[in-house]
Structure 1
Amino acid sequence: MDEMPRVLVTRRFVTPLPAMLTQSCVVDINDRHEALDAAALHARLRGCHGVLVGAGDRVDAGWLAAAPSLRVVSTASMGFNHIDVAACTRAGVLVTNTPDVVVDATADLGWLLIMAAARRLGASERWLRSGAWPGRGWRFDDWLGADVSGTTLGIVGMGRIGQAIARRAAGFRMRVCYHNRKPLPDAQAAGAQYVSLEALLREADHVIVVVPYSPATHHLIGARELARMKPGATLVNIARGGVVDDGAIAEALRAGRPGAAGLDVYEGEPEVHPELLALENVVLAPHIGTATVATRSTMFSLAVRNLLDAMQGRRPAHLVNPEVLATERIGDP
């Protein structure tokens, strides 16, 4: 490169920025946690060769039109459904993500939601905080939840995170079944049994959804699927909003099939379906699957590395649309 490339960092991720970024690029950072409004964003995109975004940034054709020099969109997230990858590909813009570093933190959060939903932690904590306990005292039948140890866990989506969840289930002496596009080799299945989605929903005491979002997985779990679950079962969604029909799960929770849910992602987030907010048998988290200090710091560092590799003529380690490399625009601002 004959000149230092220009990079926009769309919001505050970590402070200070890594030296490898500031020494290699002219960096414009939105030093706020909130997203820029459209006019300010488009103005700051002009002349940019790279942009570093998070899951809350919607990258669409408007972005690309405002940044004709753009070569790479690097997202500090595993999922990339907030990016119009097809539009980026048509424009010759590389898209990169950070898949590997999120596995353990996200699997741990999945287990947290299974346990909290099954054991009614959210509702019982709200009751305690309300001051009701001293006035009534302890009762033998208070806050009875569902067992986890020795039950059946169903994993919908047996990728890296699904496999990490299955490995953790061994400590709870659980039978594990899973549904995937195709069965995994035994070495990857972590002792889990491949079954149809219908069988998984029918047999599992706890169901966790870990599939990527795509048109094919939109409302993969809807009213029909929820009706197949056991009464009293637990449903957890740590995948993406839209994989589970939020309106359908709210209605199903009222009917007790499933009996409890734990949700970290939502359709239209940060908005949450108002009927979910009114229910006591659902634990709600604000998309915190990767929210540990170490994981988020590593995600950002990897996103920076992906961005610099793309702009400096190297193939990024985690490239979503490799077909763009055929255009040979990489590394040529």
Structure 2
Amino acid sequence: MTEPGPRILFFNPVRHARQVYEALQEVASTEVVTSPSSEQFFVDIQKKYSNIQAIYRTSASGAVAGNFDKEFIDHLPPSLKFICHNGAGYDQIDVNACASRGITVTYAPDPKLRNGQFKKGVDFGHDPQGKILGILGMGRIGRAVKARAEPFGLKCVYHNRNPLPEDLAAGCAYVSFDQLLADSDIISVHVPLFAATRHLIGAAEIAKMKPGVVIVNTARGAIIDESAMARALDEGHIAAVGLDVYEWEPMIDERLVKNDRALLVPHLGTHTAETLAKMEGHAMENARRAVMGEELLSIIPEHLPVKKHI
């Protein structure tokens, strides 16, 4: 009789990357959580899931488990060594609590017409040529934005905690945070959400921006003080915003909803079948490598080993 493979617990069923899931089943024992609530899961984890080695989760896992906070992490069995998150943002997971338990976390880094009027009361826009696009967070997504923006004639600058090597900067000039705020005609946000970046952009930072600045946020809502942004938009200091994320999702500041210069999308940045399949496959490959003892694809930065300098 074949011994069952290492157990991987799925908090969400796989909908798109079915071939990857079927291949994973050849080397691991996979099952989807049936616990209807976090309270029942805490009961089930004592026996039913007591020997799981990895967890696969998505941003929608909170419907069953809530956030993977310290209380949740403390209930996980000693056998659990990996949490493989299907998504680029992992602010729902207490990564410090995971680290203290020896758990490694991975991630998957890939309306004027509202009221039936057509071209009525629409103000003039601006040509992109020669404008400065400030990319806040020059990671994989930031570089992809730069590549898409430059054909429109935009000049791109970026700010990270530290300047990047030339190959990763992709020819983009590094500027200080204050300089990015002061010089940019458009600011596009691509930093992760953690304690140091919560309200990274607030009223004081908005005041440093050019009158008429455009802000695009597709990262995490709480990186920007939403109330301060809505007020500056109403006052005209901010010309327009493009938002896929919000500070208190699913609630959105009513001033943004009512403002025609706010382009609002309900957190759909990855909602294509192709992208979701890639993300599911990436997270499952992390889970497969984890239980097979292979090198992981994408450990979150907080859990990467610290390099020692000689």
TM bucket, shorter chain? 0.7 to 0.9
Map 1:246-265 → 2, pairs under 5 A: 246-265=226-245
Selected match of 2:100 from 68, 84, 90: 90
Q: Is the 8 A contact 2:82 2:105 kept in 1?
A: yes
Structure 1 gaps of 5+ residues are 103-121, 325-333
Partner of 2:287: 307
Runs of 4+ off more than 4 Å: none
Q: CA deviation at 1:76?
A: 0.6
Partner of 1:63: 72
Selected match of 2:91 from 74, 81, 99: 81
Partner of 2:159: 179
CA offsets, 1:233-292, max 9 Å, x none? 210112222211111111111111111101112223233333332322211122222222
Q: 1:181 to 1:65 in 2, by over 3 A?
A: closer
Return the TM-score normalized by structure 1.
0.78
Partner of 1:6: 7
Map 1:214-229 → 2, pairs under 5 A: 214-229=194-209
Q: Is the 8 A contact 1:178 1:194 kept in 2?
A: yes
Q: Percent identity over the alignment? A: 35
Aligned residue type for 1:77: G
Rounded to whole Å, the distance in 2 between the matches of 1:29 and 1:150 is 51
3-state secondary structure, aligned to 1:155: strand
CA RMSD of aligned residues (A): 2.6
Q: CA deviation at 1:2?
A: 5.7
Map 1:76-225 → 2, pairs under 5 A: 76-99=86-109, 102=110, 122=111, 124-127=112-115, 130=116, 132-133=117-118, 142-225=122-205
Q: 1:142 to 1:80 in 2, by over 3 A?
A: closer
How many pairs were matched up?
A: 291
Rounded to whole Å, the distance in 1 between the matches of 2:44 and 2:181 is 48
Q: 1:225 to 1:30 in 2, by over 3 A?
A: same
Aligned residue type for 2:212: G
Q: CA deviation at 1:207?
A: 0.9
Larger deviation, residues 75-84 vs 315-324: 315-324
Q: 1:62 to 1:322 in 2, by over 3 A?
A: same
Structure 2 gaps of 5+ residues are none
Return the TM-score normalized by structure 2.
0.84
Rounded to whole Å, the distance in 2 between the matches of 1:224 and 1:84 is 29
Partner of 1:329: none
